[in-house]
Chain A
């Protein structure tokens, strides 16, 4: 579905990013993978290679603008330009308002919002060389509905929705589609340490009565990166199994 396409995925070493890397590579894309852990990226690169796929890996924390700029400089030197960007890198921290200090707020926004915007700014320049492409941002169900104890995290994910909708308008005439996914309760490291009562409560709120998998979200990413979604832009697509918050 994606032969010859070059697709960057941030936060690619684990969870949804990792599942997306494996799926998009299996569909013929050269995946360009960014994450903070080079060790995990190299293992993923080997896995992709042994399945017959192709990837490039870069150790880069998206909250560090200089590191991200260097990745794009390297790609530009190699004349590798993007067809798609998957803005997946993100961090989640829970705290009720009186416990949510400025340091935590800054840390979440540096990655989830400012970092995402910097990657996108550079990626758009790259995608323009291909005369069009697709950007997939990772919001969250809590960015749409809000959630107790997640005012900071949820607001960072709401910012992604506003950014997606505005950018889709800016870039539509340039044939660059911009959409966001709003995953629900997904089985990733982010929820590994969740209190069992909250886990059970979340599970009961899902219409399909099962937790989502990173692969469930990766399939939606494939849809948005491929021509299957050639006329879809400015949309926030829930991948939540019918979860109600």
Chain B
């Protein structure tokens, strides 16, 4: 599965929103569903999807879908 789709699935699952909501411009706290609590679930789902462990600094830095893609590059994930 392409990386973008995998990430979209993780976001949609963690935030319980439709995939159409998940765009690069979507920001943390930009919708009610992406709050500090669901952010914890989101990190967990991304870790599971890509089999990585995200550092605390990156947990905080992951403030948008676009930023998530940028951070994932650091972890050398592949689709």
C-beta contact mask, A192-207 vs B, less than 8 Å → 1, else 0? 0000000000000000
| CB–CB A174/B40 < 8 A | yes
Q: Which residue of B37, B44, B53, B56 has the most chain A CB atoms within 10 A of its CB atom?
A: B44
Q: Closest residue to A125 on the B side, CB-wise?
A: B44
Interface status of A170 (Cβ within 8 A of chain B): yes
- Kindly identify which residue among B37, B48, B53 contacts A173, using a CB–CB cutoff of 8 Å: B37
Q: How far is the CA of A174 from the CA of B40 in the complex (A)?
A: 9
C-beta contact mask, A118-160 vs B, less than 8 Å → 1, else 0? 0001001100110000000000000000000000000000000
Interface status of A73 (Cβ within 8 A of chain B): yes
Q: How far is the CA of A170 from the CA of B40 in the complex (A)?
A: 10
| CB–CB A124/B40 < 8 A | yes
Interface status of B62 (Cβ within 8 A of chain A): no
B60 to chain A, nearest CB (A): 13
Interface status of B41 (Cβ within 8 A of chain A): yes
What are the residues of chain B within 8 A of A170 when measuring CB–CB? 37
What are the residues of chain B within 8 A of A129 when measuring CB–CB? 44, 47-48
| CB–CB A128/B44 < 8 A | yes
Q: Is the interface of A mostly helix, strand, loop or mixed?
A: helix
Interface status of B72 (Cβ within 8 A of chain A): no
What are the residues of chain A within 8 A of B56 when measuring CB–CB? 121
What are the residues of chain A within 8 A of B41 when measuring CB–CB? 128, 174
- In the complex, which residues 16-33 of chain B have their Cβ closer than 8 Å to any Cβ of chain A? none
Interface status of B15 (Cβ within 8 A of chain A): no
What are the residues of chain B within 8 A of A125 when measuring CB–CB? 40, 43-44, 47, 53
B59 to chain A, nearest CB (A): 9
Q: Closest residue to A73 on the B side, CB-wise?
A: B53
B43 to chain A, nearest CB (A): 7
Q: How far is the CA of A124 from the CA of B41 in the complex (A)?
A: 10
C-beta contact mask, A215-231 vs B, less than 8 Å → 1, else 0? 00000000000000000
Q: How far is the CA of A121 from the CA of B41 in the complex (A)?
A: 14
Q: How far is the CA of A125 from the CA of B43 in the complex (A)?
A: 8
Q: Which residue of B41, B43, B53 has the most chain A CB atoms within 10 A of its CB atom?
A: B53
B38 to chain A, nearest CB (A): 9
Measured CB to CB, the residues of B under 8 A from A are 37, 40-41, 43-44, 47-48, 53, 56
A76-B53, A128-B43, A129-B48 are known contacts; what are 4 more A-B pairs with Cβ within 8 Å?
Answer: A73-B53, A125-B44, A129-B44, A174-B41
- Identify the 3 closest CB pairs spanning chains A and B, nearest first: A128-B44, A76-B53, A173-B37
Measured CB to CB, the residues of A under 8 A from B are 73, 76, 121, 124-125, 128-129, 170, 173-174
Q: Can you list 11 A-B pairs, Cβ within 8 angstroms, ordered by A?
A: A73-B53, A76-B53, A121-B56, A124-B40, A125-B43, A125-B47, A125-B53, A128-B40, A128-B43, A129-B44, A173-B37
